[in-house]
Amino acid sequence: MKKTVKDIIVKDKKVIVRCDFNVPMIDGAITDDTRIKAALPTIEYLIAEGAKVILMSHMGRPKGEPKMEFTLAPVAERLSQYLKKDVKFVSSPVVVDDSVKAAAENLASGEVLLIENVRFRKEETDNDPGFAKELASLAEIFVQDAFGTAHRAHASTAGIAEYLPCVSGFLIEKEVKFLGEAVEAPKRPFLAIMGGAKVGDKIPVIENLITKVDTLIIGGGMSYTFFKAMGLEIGKSILDEGNIGLAAELLKKAKDNGVEILLPVDVVTAAEFSNDAERVVVDFDKIPADREGMDIGPKTRELYGKAIAEAATVVWNGPMGVFELPNFAEGTKAVASYMADSDAVTIIGGGDSAAAVEQMGFADKMTHISTGGGASLEFLEGKELPGIAVIEDK
């Protein structure tokens, strides 16, 4: 078990928190502040406990230079609104300088300071010890709460922990609890649902899960690479050419491990990649040469629904079809809906799957939706994430 903010005394201490404020912006305006809202519980707890709170994050890709289009100023403003108190923001082109140090030093208990985008310094992504030390010099305790970057060993996510005691915030605590339990000690039957476009991106996840799950569902764009590996015609469907061999190996590995694999039994096809294209449902082994698979079909939805209903843990990564086109979103919607209705522990990992579940209105019916796309995938691969490894054990 990892230590959390609740396991230490933070009163009157300077606490530096690595948050994920990497919010989408258009012309200096925040277009989606989900990540800011997600960070609030940890910050509010620290304020209530009388800590002196210093926040840091990256945003976008300023590539190690103080490019002001990536300033965190709009984040400070939004935070002030949500916290109903003034969040001090001291912008320095070098992130930490004398004015930033003075602001940190002069914080009163319960006050909040945000420092500038840590990626204004190229030493951040190099995990440079000098920069990590500069960040650490601002505080007495380091709180790790940025799951989205926990798979990166950077100065603000890993290096800083060399110089300060490190505990997790509530966001990381939740991610580690649900993703960790699902992979290491799942309630059985354990079902994993994999989809999305590219087999290559997901192979390491499938390889890890195949030794742990009872049933593996493969849907979405990646199923055609598996069909190809089985020697079937897939028409113009998306194919990950370089991974046909690996797909065949995974099918064999599943068999060797006694894992049941479910592939689509029917697919919704189209003659071109367009929402207005005519939809024709065909059996999985009868895809015409001039059409492409865009979604799972009705028989498959029912089959997958049954598997979901029987499972006690369901981990889902990757949409079942081209859900961005409403006419080909039914498969993804059905899986989300079956999961929402189930009593199982339901976990969503992956950026597009999480977005689909939010969009379709099932978000509050899931046990856990991971906030880190790449980080949640690496977690499901069974890797130890550098930003989590540095958190002290209880």
Please report, as ranges, the residues that interact with Mg ion according to CB under 5 A.
351-352
CB 117 within 8 A of CB 74: no
35 flagged as catalytic: yes
Cα separations (Å) of 311 from 141, 247, 307, 338?
Answer: 41, 24, 6, 11
Q: Which is nearer to ligand ADP, 167 or 322 (CB)?
A: 322
Q: Return the one option of Mg ion, ligand ADP, none that residue 10 interacts with (CB less than 5 to 8 A, by type).
A: none
Dihedral sign computed on CA atoms, order 309, 311, 316, 319: negative
Instruction: Report the site for ligand ADP in 234-253 (rule: CB under 6 A).
Output: 238
| Residues in 216-235 at the binding interface with ligand ADP, rule: CB under 6 A | 220-221
* Pairing status of strand 112-115 against strand 52-56: parallel
Q: Which residue is nearest to ligand ADP (CB)?
A: 196
Active-site hit among 35, 119, 152, 212: 35
Instruction: Quote the CA–CA distance of 19 and 255 in Å, as a whole number.
Output: 42
**Cα gap 307→305, rounded to integer Å:** 5
CB 197, min distance to Mg ion, A: 8
* Token pair belonging to 56: 């840091």
Q: Does 318 bind ligand ADP (CB under 6 A)?
A: yes
Q: Is 253 a catalytic residue?
A: no
Q: Can 374 be counted among the known catalytic residues?
A: yes
Size of the site for ligand ADP (CB under 6 A): 19
Segment (H or E) for 292:
strand 292-296
Among residues 143, 217, 239, 322, which is the contact residue for ligand ADP, using CB under 6 A?
A: 322
Residue of 264, 351, 372, 386 interacting with ligand ADP (CB under 6 A): 351
Residue 383 is a catalytic residue: no
Tally Cβ neighbours within 10 Å of residue 197: 18
Q: Does 317 bind ligand ADP (CB under 6 A)?
A: yes
* In the complex, minimum distance from the CB of residue 328 to ligand ADP, in angstroms, rounded to a whole number: 8
186 binds, among ligand ADP, Mg ion, none (CB under 5 to 8 A by kind): none
**Closest to Mg ion by CB, 352 or 378:** 352
Q: Which of 33, 124, 173, 352 binds ligand ADP (CB under 6 A)?
A: 352
Tell me the CA end-to-end span of the chain in Å, nearest whole number.
6
CA distance 333 to 355: 12
Q: Which does 317 bind (CB under 5 to 8 A by kind): ligand ADP, Mg ion, none?
A: ligand ADP
Torsion (CA) 151, 223, 184, 179 in degrees, nearest 10? 50
- The span from the CA of 295 to the CA of 324, in Å, is 11
DSSP-derived secondary structure for 88-122: EEE--TTSS-HHHHHHHHTPPTT-EEEE--GGGST
Binding partner of residue 324 among Mg ion, ligand ADP, none, CB cut-off 5 to 8 Å per kind: ligand ADP
CA distance 2 to 230: 44
Please identify, using beta-carbon distances, which residue of 4 and 371 lies nearer to ligand ADP: 371
Q: Which stretch binds ligand ADP (CB under 6 A): 76-84, 85-93, 168-176, 348-356?
A: 348-356
Q: Mind telling me the catalytic residues?
A: 35, 198, 351, 374
Binding site for ligand ADP (CB under 6 A): 196-197, 201, 220-221, 238, 293-294, 317-319, 321-322, 324, 350-353, 373
